Amino acid sequence: MAANTSSNPAFVYDNVMQNCKVVNPTTAYTVLADDNVVIAGANSIAITLIATSNSPVYITSIDGTTQRTGVTAVVGSQDFVLADGGCTALCIRYGPASANQWLVIGSKTAS
């Protein structure tokens, strides 16, 4: 599975439907360059986005039918909480990858 590119931003219709790489970590995890979907496999874990993480990527706190608690998407020192009010986030990098700037759409809160 290749990384998503700016020429393929709507990967919902492409990679996720056809060749999706799904990971289900049970401990703190850093999104890799070819991850498409990250499903929290435990409570209270941090899922970190870095300059080399794939973009866009979905992060969800629902593991099957289990709603995980305390799951955060982390960008630098910013935490985006995924909970009942925002259980899935779409994370899209903007600007140069080296800047590690992300739009996190759908999180419940940010701090």
Handedness of CA 79, 108, 10, 30 (dihedral sign): positive
CB 101 within 8 A of CB 50: no
pTM of the model: 0.85
Give the residue, 19 or 9, on which the prediction is more confident.
19
> Which region, left, alpha or beta, applies to residue 97 given φ > 0 means left and ψ of -120 to 50 means alpha?
alpha
| Tokens standing for residue 68 | 């995980």
- Is the Cβ–Cβ distance between 89 and 106 less than 8 Å? yes
Is 23 or 16 the better-scoring residue by pLDDT?
23
Q: What is the pLDDT of residues 46-105, one digit of tens each?
A: 999 999 999 889 999 998 888 999 999 999 999 999 976 678 999 999 888 899 999 999
Domains in the chain: boundaries: 11-110
Confidence of residue 13 (pLDDT cuts 50, 70, 90): very low
Extract the tokens encoding 30: 């850093």
Enter the DSSP assignment of 4.
P
Residues 28-48 pLDDT 10s: 999 999 999 999 999 999 999
